[in-house]
Structure 1
């Protein structure tokens, strides 16, 4: 269950206060070790993808189908592993530990397409109910 907007604002305020009060402790709690491991996994999977691409092309050049198939499998595994590792990168830090400045968050859209269409439909129904029809 996601946090409400009010709860997220309170959490952000607490995180900023923690960084302002004790930045060393806050950066230790941030999980930089996890980020480093995850980045290494992403870089490793990218390297595996490139090696797989090389094997695929080498197998095609040498007319060795099993080398090409192995390269393709390595490319696929590298891509899947890289994407899953990239999604696991923690994005918890709302404040830069070095400067103490807030980090800009990505703006979320107003929900999925279906949610926006439902909101528009409800808005039209309310407008028609008040006599403000087309």
Structure 2
């Protein structure tokens, strides 16, 4: 991967944190003053978190196919992550956002073990930073819901 492509990937990854941080801030700023807006922002943040969790699971499918790795674990994890992301969206925001925060951490824990085997270990520093901000945003948003 070229340096320009890598830089772009980093910028886009950090931009992907905007909905987490803004959503969390809005949940706390709106509070109980406007229940409709609060519910909308909570659902929007939960849906985004669910999409990100599903995306993280899908990376395992992509890397597994690209590297031609045998075995079921990357494929099973990809589906499990998507199902957990979906489940979190279906739950009440205070519970679903907490689940999303926990699943984001679980995704990172799985990635720490699997990425080096798949030739993607150099992405773990970025993954840690993204996970720290996204999961903290989910936990704080859950507390404000």
TMscore range, shorter length: 0.3 to 0.5
Greater radius of gyration (CA): 1
What TM-score, normalized by structure 2, do the two folds share?
0.34
> Structure 1 length normalisation: TM-score?
0.36
Instruction: Specify which structure has the bigger relative contact order, considering alpha-carbon pairs within 8 angstroms and separated by 6 or more residues.
Output: 2
More helix by share: 2
